[in-house]
Amino acid sequence: MTAITPGAPNHEGLAPLASRFVNVDGLPWEPSQFPGIDFKTLLIEPDTGLLTALVRMAPGSTLPDHQHVQIEQTYVIDGAWSTKMALSGQANLYGAPLEAATLPST
């Protein structure tokens, strides 16, 4: 696996199977192409599409309908969001199977 954390200087030069520590607070929020939605990429594996990220969604924002190449797991830290199939509030975990369509909004 060649998973990386973009913007994590302590990962430079690590072997593919080396353990990784991610200083999440030290990573910048990156604006997305969608208004009111920012990302912190914690881990990405380009060959498989595996992605772990923090997503910050402003009230009233929506991600366009999309599918994931891997399973989706979403843990709500603060606030609430919904999809076509579920409403998820603070401290709840939402999971969607491989290739399920999702349309999250706040």
Domain positions in the chain are 1-57, 62-106
Per-residue pLDDT at 106:
59
Per-residue pLDDT at 97:
60
What is the residue-wise DSSP string for 21-43? ---GGGSPPEE-SSTTEEEEEEE
pTM over 0.85: no
Q: Which residue has the higher pLDDT, 91 or 9?
A: 9
Task: Report the side by side order of strands in the sheet with 50-57.
Answer: 30-31, 37-45, 50-57
**What number is the average pLDDT over the span 73-97?**
69
Per-residue pLDDT at 7:
79
Please measure the distance between the N-terminal and C-terminal CA atoms of the chain and give it in whole angstroms: 34
Q: Which residue has the higher pLDDT, 54 or 67?
A: 54
